[in-house]
Structure 1
């Protein structure tokens, strides 16, 4: 009785399964990543030696000239959007290092008037 020889497999392994796994990992990390919107204008944060991290829930950008931006709205529109937000959230001010203390105090007092009293100021550690 003669048995036929099984066909020979090629010596090279297919890399398609490995490519599939790499693409699945890529899709997974892209879907689970948090994409942060770009700031509306350049803000250089003030420097400090403190090692405290700021973890606010709402970011407000304040330029050196005193312009205010929140969720894409500028100045008066930003204040209107802020007034509609619940006051239970912590507000993070991302103010420019060149912003005068007087303008910063005006922004903070206006935030307090509309009910946002939990305010954090973002800084940059050198």
Structure 2
């Protein structure tokens, strides 16, 4: 009698739909996680800098527009009085580090007044935020 070989066993069909679902969920997660970042309260055109230093304080951010006015949230003040107007706020919040996001066209003398005033009210460190040059 003739013996025939058994036909090869076929592997069961495995659906790739769960894998595709997982890939799409990961894609959605990374798209959302990558784009959710806080926006600035005031639109300023930051100057370009050479240093890539990531020490900008997240405690308090002051914005200086091209007209020289200083913004903290919805509060607007002149650069010469800003530090003194913020003295109580800084003391009660316990903030000793401040970042300044100044417009590239902001007058330098206004920035100097602001930095000197912040130093006089007890701020330990002032960081001037810039965009990194290419």
- Write the distance in 1 (CA, Å) between the matches of 2:65 and 2:27: 37
Where does structure 2 lack aligned partners over 5 or more consecutive residues? 1-10
Where does structure 1 lack aligned partners over 5 or more consecutive residues? 1-8
- Write the distance in 2 (CA, Å) between the matches of 1:56 and 1:73: 21
TM-score, reference length from structure 1 = 0.65
Q: Rg larger in 1 or in 2?
A: 2
What do the CA deviations read for 1:5-50 (whole angstroms, capped 9, x no partner)? xxxx996x534302321243245436755732222232122234x2
Partner in structure 1 of residue 112 of structure 2 = 105
Runs of 4+ more than 4 Å apart:
30-34, 80-83
In 2 relative to 1, CA 51–106 (structure 1 residues): closer, same or farther, beyond 3 Å? closer
Partner in structure 1 of residue 71 of structure 2 = 69
What do the CA deviations read for 1:61-118 (whole angstroms, capped 9, x no partner)? 2111123233x33225993644533234x32211111111221122112322332120
If each structure's strand is expressed as a fraction of its own residues, which one has the higher value?
2
- Write the distance in 2 (CA, Å) between the matches of 1:29 and 1:125: 25
| Aligned length, in residue pairs | 115
Q: Is the 8 A contact 2:52 2:132 kept in 1?
A: no
Alignment map for 1:111-122 (pairs within 5 Å): 111-122=118-129
